[in-house]
Structure 1
Amino acid sequence: MNNYEKVSTNNYYKTDLRITKTHRLLVRALVKLLEEKPFSKISVKDLCEEALVSRSGFYSHFEDKYHLLLYCLEDLKQEISDQLDFNDKTLLLDRVIDFIQSNDRLFHSLFNDDTSLELQKMLQSTFTGEIEEFLQVKQTIEKEEYPVSIPIMAVFLAGGIIQVIHWWVYSGFKEPKETIHQLLSQIM
């Protein structure tokens, strides 16, 4: 079971087993289809057929395939956040880098598709919020003032991290993950 299969059980839908089961089936279907073809070529019909879920069932849970993808990213973000130690900035980077490399076919499909820009915008929004929160906690713990506002730093850092990740995936992971980790740690 990979991380995307686990994410559908980590949120507030956990109380209703039918909802959890439907989400898990749709997440698995999305991951399987992404390994076969680009995101732009995946239709809701494809997702429903693969998951054995009706179209009305799909639409009772998600607005469209982008909402399903966002759901996957949000649950992953929550899973990583739950395990963060704000005193250790490298922990988040380790988890993100390991996740990307262990799901290389998924990220190749996402980043090499014409929806790559949309994915980058979703990641930008997610990373910016997480980095902003991280910087605020860090500033409180270390009692340190930053030279620019935290929101500006968060946007800048998130953009840089996403572009490095995009380059790393696009290059076929030519650099070892330790090198990417070291580079991103220095940026943070």
Structure 2
Amino acid sequence: MKKCDNGQIDKIGFYVARGGINMKKDLRYQKTKIAILRAIEVLLQNKDFEKISIKDICETAQVSRSAFYLHYTDKYDLAKQCQLELVETGNRFIKERVITKRDKLMLTMLNLLLGEGKVMALLISSHGSSEIQESIRAVMRQNMQKNILPLTNIKFANSTEERYFLSFFSNAIFGVIQEWINSGQKESPEEIVALVDKNFSFEFK
């Protein structure tokens, strides 16, 4: 075991840095998380989320149950964290870039699902959980109301009109994305955007 600058040694033999765990320990933590995410991605391709057990995830990831529980309380927590990370990434993208057309917004969403949101895409698919999917729909509605509607030229007579529009639009977009994922994402994001663009007439400011 090695000593830190202040002479302290942690229980498993790694440096205890003043700011917390050391780099070596942190890298092991991150590698375990990546292995878990890759495992759930593999499992969801052929198995329904509700039928996937912690044992399945750990065996596929080749990690111990204790290592899994360092990251997540259960598989639903795993799914929730994937969802939150994707939403945060999407919101950051919207804030950092000036999106002035709805096709660019849709393209951003699809590219995120093709890239770092692969697990989330599989959770949206027919192998995903209905509870998770409803949660995603709710997040989409909230996101649209908070971040998207202010950028459009849409005017509502009252809150009821707005509520039904948000429900219709978010469910329609979710349905398109789910069908795209279920069919193997054969079309490019650009093709899906062009398809959706034909069915909606609102414009950004």
Identity of aligned residues (%): 28
1:47 equivalent in structure 2: 57
AA partner of residue 181 (structure 1): V
1:127 equivalent in structure 2: 140
After TM superposition, the runs of 4+ consecutive aligned structure 1 residues lying more than 6 A away are: 102-106
Cα deviation for residue 93 of structure 1 reads 0.8
State the distance in 2 between where 1:73 and 1:155 align: 19
2:48 equivalent in structure 1: 38
State the distance in 1 between where 2:31 and 2:118 align: 25
1:80 equivalent in structure 2: 90
State the distance in 2 between where 1:105 and 1:23 align: 13
Whether the 8 Å CA contact 1:37–1:109 is kept in 2: the answer is: no
2:126 equivalent in structure 1: 112
1:66 paired residue among 67, 76, 82? 76
Q: 5+ unaligned residues in a row in structure 1: which ranges?
A: 1-14
2:7 equivalent in structure 1: none
1:162 equivalent in structure 2: 174
Whether the 8 Å CA contact 2:49–2:129 is kept in 1: the answer is: no
1:181 paired residue among 168, 193, 197? 193
Greater mean deviation of Cα atoms: 31-40 or 161-170: 31-40
State the distance in 2 between where 1:158 and 1:67 align: 24
AA partner of residue 92 (structure 1): L
Whether the 8 Å CA contact 2:58–2:68 is kept in 1: the answer is: yes
State the distance in 2 between where 1:35 and 1:174 align: 15
Cα deviation for residue 33 of structure 1 reads 2.3
- Number of residues paired by the alignment? 170
Please say which structure displays the higher CA radius of gyration: 2
Whether the 8 Å CA contact 1:45–1:55 is kept in 2: the answer is: yes
1:10 equivalent in structure 2: none
Q: CA RMSD in A?
A: 3.3
Cα deviation for residue 124 of structure 1 reads 0.2
- SS of the aligned residue for 1:63 comes to coil
The structure whose residues are more often helix, as a share, is 1
AA partner of residue 120 (structure 1): Q
State the distance in 2 between where 1:121 and 1:79 align: 20
State the distance in 1 between where 2:78 and 2:33 align: 9
State the distance in 2 between where 1:31 and 1:105 align: 5
- SS of the aligned residue for 1:83 comes to helix
Cα deviation for residue 60 of structure 1 reads 3.6
Whether the 8 Å CA contact 2:124–2:178 is kept in 1: the answer is: no
TM-score between the two structures when normalised by the length of structure 1: 0.69
- SS of the aligned residue for 1:96 comes to helix
